[in-house]
Amino acid sequence: MKRTTKIELIAAVRVLNHLVGIAEGKPGSFVLQGAYGGWQLQRIHPSGGNESVTTGFRTKREVLDLIHAIRYGIRDGLGMTLTN
């Protein structure tokens, strides 16, 4: 299995934010948080702060898989076609 890099995670979050139509850093956009040797996908809450999308901190591979699952869920819900 190929190693997942931080750059791949950042790129996947950018694609996810573009897909939901929210600019990076704005309320509702997705962000990454790294701590304890792991990673967490979070969403900026409109009233301030971030809320966790993942439970706990995960490996980069697990977070990337989750991001892809969210993307494909959005795609299926909107009847779109995504590559990758």
- For residue 14, what pLDDT is reported? 96
- For residue 84, what pLDDT is reported? 52
Residue type, 75: R
- For residue 63, what pLDDT is reported? 96
Measured in whole angstroms, the distance separating CA 8 from the mean position of its chain's CA atoms is: 11
pLDDT band at residue 10 under the 50/70/90 scheme = very high
Tell me the C-alpha distance between 57 and 78, whole Å.
Answer: 29
What are the pLDDT digits (tens) for 21-80? 999 999 999 999 999 899 999 999 999 899 999 888 999 999 999 999 999 888 888 776
- For residue 41, what pLDDT is reported? 96
